[in-house]
Amino acid sequence: MLRINNFKRSYATFSNQARLPRLPIPALESTQERYKRSLLPLLSQADYERVSTTIDHFFKSELSSTLQKRLQDLDADNWLDQLWLKKAYLEYRIPTLINVNWWNQFQDFGLIPAEQSRSSAFCMHQLKNMFGTSRIAASGVDRVVTQWPCLAKHVNVIYKDQIFSVDVIGPQGETVSVKQLEQQLRWVVEQVDNHPKQPPIGLLTTEHRDTWGPIREELETQTINAKSLENIDRSLFVFCLDDYSSSDDLSHRNMFHARNGRNRWFDKALQFIVENNGRAGINGEHSPADAVIPSRILDDALASEPMQTEAPTVNLAAPTRLNWDLSNRVQEAIKTAEINASKLIQDLDSVLLVYDGYGADEMKKAKVSPDGWLQMAFQLAYYRQYGQPCPTYESASTRKFLKGRTETVRSCSVESVAFTKAWDDKDIKASH
């Protein structure tokens, strides 16, 4: 379980960066033994012996030392940073819709818990990738564009698939009141409801990356499209006004696929989503940062930033709709994207499980980590369903190291398999 340090405001955001240690590169011998041990619960004895021999042969070879040296050469700040970004995200070609983007739904009536730390500082580098950040589709491998420092004063508002540029910060950096922001949003709604609509171009961001990349490149050949794309790429974030209401049990799904993939721009680092019943959430493209980062920002803003209801009126430009010059090929691509997004969404099952029998406090009373408790519940459920263990990925934070993000915990282990087998073994009595 990750506990994030809620630093006092006297600490500047990046004041601890220079003191953070670098993410260590494990020794070859350690990697060799840990990898072999991780395979024990997954392979038969014969398969394990065969694979183990292959592993030992590799680690004795010159190639293993060469590859280890390459990792060491990458270690300017963090050896895993760019590898993780490219291999886990930017070279991943399937749609980011559902498969990559994270989401969060705001609790309607919740109290924000105080965050506490038991140990050291966390790397704040990912905060630089939150605002004015977009993923750019391209053939083969995508890229991320980040404005740091972010000087943008506008957001993009999407309503009924129409995308607007809306100023939310004054020309001189002035704070804008809630009332004036509401006026800006009402202007967008009125414009959309009283003017012809353009095709839902945001659907293209739900497509396979090698499909969307060439289409984006084609769009950029037209000046009007290039300006609109740049406006989106440079905006602080996207604000989605959804003209419908979801039931309580289904509303969380809307936060990560919008029912049909429309009214979104899934390449943006941050999308705030509000349904017409006031239910709200957030969706974000995963490559610039992990979901814990915007959660930290939102918690701090909700807990510490006063609502500006009486701020002086600021001279803001009226919102402007982004215009597009779409060829027949692009318009057909939008229709195809909608079909593909629909198939992807229909193939998804998602249910929120609310269990109130006991919680984290009871687990701690038993001197068990809540995270470890849940991981073993997952292992037991899978074993009961399929009669065998499987390779399991759990994200682990490396933010105590400079430019750290996440690494992988292999929670299926020799010990977890022994636990799942023992749990249903009638000859083994539970200890109290």
- Residues with a known catalytic role: 286
The Cα diameter of the chain in Å comes to 76
User: Is the preceding omega at residue 214 within 30 degrees of 0, hence cis?
Assistant: no
**Is residue 208 within 8 Å of residue 95, measured between CB atoms?**
yes
Cα separation, 389 vs 95, whole angstroms: 29
Cα separation, 131 vs 110, whole angstroms: 26
The C-alpha R_g of the chain, in whole angstroms, comes to 25
**Is residue 42 within 8 Å of residue 417, measured between CB atoms?**
no
**Is residue 201 within 8 Å of residue 332, measured between CB atoms?**
no
User: DSSP secondary-structure letter at 127?
Assistant: G
Cα separation, 80 vs 398, whole angstroms: 10
CA count, 13 A, side-chain hemisphere, 112: 15
Give me the DSSP letters along 75-99: TTS-TTHHHHIIIIIIT--S-STTT
**Is residue 159 within 8 Å of residue 241, measured between CB atoms?**
yes
Cα separation, 213 vs 219, whole angstroms: 10
Describe the crossing of helices 328-346 and 251-261 by its angle, rounded to 10 degrees: 150
Q: For the chain, how many helices (H) and strands (E)? A: 13, 11
CA count, 13 A, side-chain hemisphere, 44: 2
CA 366: distance to chain centroid? 32
Identify any residues that bridge with 284 across adjacent strands, giving them in sequence order.
102
